[in-house]
Structure 1
Amino acid sequence: MVSLPEELEAREAAARRRVEELRTEATELALRLEAAQKDLSRWEITRETVTEVLAELSAAEPDSDADVPVESDPKPHPHGTGVVMVPPWREGLAAKMLPDVYRDIMEVLADAPGPLQAKQIVPRIGLSATAGKIEGTRAKLKRLVERGWLTSDAPGRFALARREASPDPLNPRWPRGSSS
């Protein structure tokens, strides 16, 4: 039979080992947290830089109309950037000015024989057909409609806005009759 003092010493030693294991784990977690915070900071700086560059590119657009504001979204921006990533469509503004995912959506709709639903677009732009991806894409489609890039004649169905002056919907400056 084990004596009470021996049992207490064994339990104390086990508790001490557990405390040391937890201290080691806490140190490892602190290091991982620091690395994740540095990564987050890099992404925030990258997003801010890209936003600034896009704003400068949009402002430098040679055919931009002086009376058409780039900032037409009165809603507050959660990150304080104040830049519209999807500018309102205007004559001479090409889809190549849009962020990649919006440009992908425009290309899918340009190749489609008719209006498409968000759930039909999602797999064609390389996303998994989950509810979250479909809803996110639907929000982007609605944003493109609000800004004049797309139309939605039937609820939930989206197509390129008809442009009489532009034979190539992805590049409105494309010269007529050009084969290149």
Structure 2
Amino acid sequence: MGSLFEELEAREAAARERVEELEAELADLAEQLERAREGLERLRVARETVAEVMAEMSADASVAAEEEPEAETADGEASSPYAGAERRVMGVLTVPKWRPGMGVDVLPRVYRDILEVIADAPGPVRAKQIVPRIGLATTAGRIEGTRSKLKRLVERGWLDEDEPGLFAPARLRTGASPNSQ
């Protein structure tokens, strides 16, 4: 009878060893899978970010940056803090704060398109309603990117967001809307 127990113990030891080998392989594969998933996510985010930036840049390459505050010289003339220096901003698109008399022509093309869709809407609209109307695919990334632009337009006085997620033309004290100019 001793040999039967010895055979079972040997088989159990071999099975235990095989289980440990497979667990080690599984742990290694799980680690490889996690690294691959992280790499995939980084690439997806990078591609979406680059596509968004490139779309904005090509939409309107002639966007003017916000004016720098001017200082007066001793003789009373206004001078820029960058007087005499060539000022070049590359790859930066700004959404200036709305001021009376400012038209939508100072905004990048995609922002003008957004304001046009909102101005034409019968009431407040959501980002997911705007995305297809400005020619983008209705993916979660595009909707979130548009929502970010809408929030930026609200922060800078171009739009109102009376209820979370609902965007409408800005109402000023005079009742005029900056996007109607």
Q: TM-score, normalised by structure 2?
A: 0.50
User: Which residue in 1 is equivalent to 2:103?
Assistant: 94
CA distance 1:164–1:142, change in 2 (3 Å)? same
Q: Are 2:154 and 2:160, in contact at CA under 8 Å, matched by a contact in 1? A: yes
User: Which residue in 2 is equivalent to 1:105?
Assistant: 114
Backbone CA RMSD of aligned residues: 3.3
Q: Which amino acid in 2 is paired with 1:129?
A: T
Tell me, which stretches of 5 or more residues in structure 2 are unaligned?
Answer: 1-53, 71-88
Q: Are 1:96 and 1:170, in contact at CA under 8 Å, matched by a contact in 2? A: no
For residues 15-74 of structure 1, the C-alpha deviation after alignment (integer angstroms, 9 at most, x for no partner) is xxxxxxxxxxxxxxxxxxxxxxxxxxxx8xx88xx47x612xx539xxxx97xxxxxxxx
State the percentage of identical aligned residues: 58
SS of the equivalent of 1:103 reads helix
Q: Are 2:161 and 2:167, in contact at CA under 8 Å, matched by a contact in 1? A: yes
Q: Are 2:169 and 2:179, in contact at CA under 8 Å, matched by a contact in 1? A: no
Q: Are 1:86 and 1:147, in contact at CA under 8 Å, matched by a contact in 2? A: yes
Residue 162 of structure 1: how far off its partner (Å): 1.4
CA distance 1:82–1:147, change in 2 (3 Å)? farther
Q: Are 1:85 and 1:98, in contact at CA under 8 Å, matched by a contact in 2? A: yes
Residue 118 of structure 1: how far off its partner (Å): 0.2
Q: From the two aligned structures, give the one with the greater strand fraction.
A: 2
User: Which residue in 1 is equivalent to 2:64?
Assistant: 54
CA distance 1:133–1:82, change in 2 (3 Å)? closer
Residue 83 of structure 1: how far off its partner (Å): 6.0
What does 1:67-86 align with in structure 2 at a 5 Å threshold? 85-86=94-95
- In the alignment, the residues of structure 1 paired with residue 145 and residue 160 of structure 2 have an alpha-carbon distance, to the nearest angstrom, of 18
SS of the equivalent of 2:141 reads helix
What does 1:138-153 align with in structure 2 at a 5 Å threshold? 138-153=147-162
User: Which residue in 2 is equivalent to 1:125?
Assistant: 134
Q: Which has the larger radius of gyration?
A: 2
Tell me, which stretches of 5 or more residues in structure 1 are unaligned?
Answer: 1-42, 67-79, 173-180
Residue 170 of structure 1: how far off its partner (Å): 3.3
User: Which residue in 2 is equivalent to 1:10?
Assistant: none
- In the alignment, the residues of structure 2 paired with residue 83 and residue 127 of structure 1 have an alpha-carbon distance, to the nearest angstrom, of 22
Q: Which amino acid in 1 is paired with 2:67?
A: A
Q: TM-score, normalised by structure 1?
A: 0.50
